Amino acid sequence: VSTSLAFTAVPLFFMMSGYLLMTSRKTADISVLLRHRLPRLVLPLAGWTVVAVLWQMFLAHTLTPGAIWAQLVTALHGPVMVHFWYLYTLIALYALSPILYGGIQVLGKSGRVYLFVLAAAVSAHTILMTVLPDGAAQYVDLDIFDKLKIFGGHMATFVLGYLLGSCEKKIPNWLLALGAVVSLAVISVGTWVLTVRTGEFNQNFQNQSSGFEIVLAACIFLLCKQTCNRPPRAWVKAVTEPVVALSMAIYLMHNIFLSMLYSAGVSVHSFGSTVGVTLLVFAACFVVTKTVATVRPLCYLATGKTYAEACRSCNWVATFRRLRGYSTEKK
């Protein structure tokens, strides 16, 4: 159940990115893309790729200039660690965003309905392929649907985020909550049934690019849009702002640190140990990225934020300033 819920993270990130990019006029300005948006993704990806390569070479006892160079060249063709795939996909979507934005501006209401139908078709096809028996699934296993799944289906999620976010019609929250609960139940039970049937962990119901997870993510997205749109209280912002600002850096680092823990003999055998290791990884990555963001030459390379931005939001300088301001207010 917890894994099924957690797997909405990726589609939610793509939905939020699609909504924010496709509703910003700056998206049409290619200079903004080239000078600001792409560097904020490409340079941190490059920086953490170097860290990952050095760690992998150290772990394999092949830490030589030749081996390092070979791995860095490999990174040009694909991610050197599995979790980097997200940045590769997001960079591609960012690169296409001016074209998508221009196309969406041209479309009228009927055009947006058409886009919604296409995005829904991607998930509907995956749902049918998941639930239908093999004999029946072959009749809906059409090549056209595979062609629609651009970037594995994530472009459909990206566009869906814009469509849901800009939809003015309000859906009753109780209906969205019910849809989320039902979707989560279907995903969880379906995963359990397939896992028992096949004898190994089967994640067909937990597909993050299309299918049931997109339905669940859409319900959560709309619930948050309709109920969490008030400015946060000062103390909430103070607690969450550094985490939000460092979220990409934490994501890029977390699997590297997790690999370090595994190499040190740390393992998980239960739900409790999984939660414990997760909290440890988050805390360690938060402290490390916050510290690196305090070092001016490394800040942008690690976080995608300028040093001035980090000093206002997430590094130790920002924390010191907040504490000093809080102390002054008390006096």
Give the pLDDT mean for 268-286. Answer: 93
pLDDT at 288: 97
| Residue 322 contacts residue 250 (beta carbons within 8 Å) | no
| Residue 302 contacts residue 249 (beta carbons within 8 Å) | yes
Average pLDDT, the chain: 90
Give the pLDDT mean for 60-87. Answer: 89
pLDDT at 331: 54
Lowest mean pLDDT among 92-96, 114-118, 140-144, 203-207: 140-144
| Residue 187 contacts residue 206 (beta carbons within 8 Å) | yes
Structure tokens at 17: 């990115």
Q: Count CA atoms within 13 Å of residue 90 on its CB side.
A: 25
pLDDT reading at 168 higher than 80:
yes
Confidence of residue 19 (pLDDT cuts 50, 70, 90): very high
pLDDT at 40: 95
Give the pLDDT mean for 68-77. Answer: 88
26: Cβ–Cβ under 8 A, 6 or more apart, which residues? 32
Nearest 5°: phi and psi at 79? Answer: -65, 140
| Residue 316 contacts residue 286 (beta carbons within 8 Å) | no
pLDDT at 304: 94
State pLDDT tens for residues 179-199: 999 999 999 999 999 999 999
With the C-alpha atoms ordered 124, 129, 130, 135, is the resulting torsion angle positive or negative? positive
State pLDDT tens for residues 127-161: 888 888 877 767 677 777 777 777 778 999 999 99
Write 224-230 long-range contacts (CB < 8 A, 24+): 225/164, 225/165, 226/170, 226/171, 226/173, 226/176, 227/173
Lowest mean pLDDT among 16-20, 35-39, 264-268, 302-306: 264-268
| Residue 122 contacts residue 144 (beta carbons within 8 Å) | no
